[in-house]
Amino acid sequence: MSDAAQPTAAEVRAAAEAVKTALDRHLAAVERRSGEDDPAVYEAFNQLAAAAEAYDELLYDRYDEVTPFEIPGADDTLPPYTGPEEPSALSVLIRRDYAVAEPQRLMAQARRIEAADDEAEVGADVAGTVHGALGILFGEFEADEIASRHKEFGLEEGDSTLWVTAADESAEPGEWLEAPFDEVDPQQVVCRFDVSAVFDDEFDDDDDDDEVAELEEDLDADLPDDEEDDGEPERPRADF
């Protein structure tokens, strides 16, 4: 950014004052809240998040410094629940991401399934491609079983999320199948559960480094003098 486009010191100071004002308003809203999902608290939270983000950006542009805290923005939170108090129907929305870590293992598993299928077309090596193998795998096993056996199928876990939404009545059969996630109302979400590697990165990096270092020392101590450890120890992993 050029010097001409940089914010002035006065603008940075004004942004800092805006954070202080928003912080006071948020505390006041919390102190006066009428319930767990008070919309005034939700609005004050978003105002505080916006003020903090604006201050952080100006501080960085002007002084090349950042704040020591991070407040999630409005897009990272759910609005207050406004659905039925006694839902008679619900929808469970699940997304799980995987990386194809071992394509050969994936295709080998698919070939075993294909070979055991009496109705498989003779000579059609569908399992010979990654996309074909995935089709066979997900056609044979339930999604939950694949999640529990993903390493066996050459897959590596990525992020996942589960949303539970409420409704007054069940949808008509076939009504939402063409676009299952397009009409989700965030205010109907009863709860959500997220699993992401970013949580490990934020909280476990230092601990993992220490544990790996200790593990490497123990392995080196156990090795005979004429042997070398050519492999890396498996990094401890927290399960959610």
113 and 55: one domain? no
Structural domains of the chain, count: 3
For residue 53, is it within any domain? yes
7 and 69: one domain? yes
The answer for residues whose C-beta is within 8 angstroms of residue 173's C-beta and 6 or more apart is none
For residue 210, give its domain range: 197-240
Note the pLDDT of residue 93: 92
Note the pLDDT of residue 166: 92
What span, in angstroms and rounded, lies between the C-alpha atoms of 162 and 185?
Answer: 14
For residue 188, is it within any domain? no
For residue 70, is it within any domain? yes
Closest to 81 (Cα-Cα) out of 152, 154, 167, 161 = 167
Q: Which residue, 25, 41, 76, sits at the end of a domain? A: 76
71 and 106: one domain? no
8 and 72: one domain? yes
70 and 109: one domain? no
For residue 36, is it within any domain? yes
107 and 68: one domain? no
63 and 106: one domain? no
Note the pLDDT of residue 98: 96
Note the pLDDT of residue 14: 95
Tokens 């486009």 sit on residue? 5
For residue 170, is it within any domain? no
For residue 14, is it within any domain? yes
Residue 8, Cβ density class (10 Å: 0-12 exposed, 13-18 middle, ≥19 buried): exposed
Full pLDDT tens readout for the chain, 240 residues: 445 578 899 999 999 999 999 999 999 999 998 887 788 888 888 888 889 889 988 998 999 898 877 655 444 566 778 888 889 999 999 999 999 999 999 999 999 998 887 665 545 567 889 999 999 999 999 999 999 999 999 999 999 999 999 988 898 999 888 888 887 888 888 888 888 877 665 555 555 555 555 545 555 555 555 444 444 444 433 333
9 and 66: one domain? yes
Strand segments (E) across 26-154: 89-100
Note the pLDDT of residue 158: 92
First to last CA, the chain: 42
Answer for the pair 164, 192: CB distance below 8 angstroms, yes or no: yes
For residue 183, is it within any domain? no
57 and 110: one domain? no
20 and 67: one domain? yes
For residue 115, is it within any domain? yes
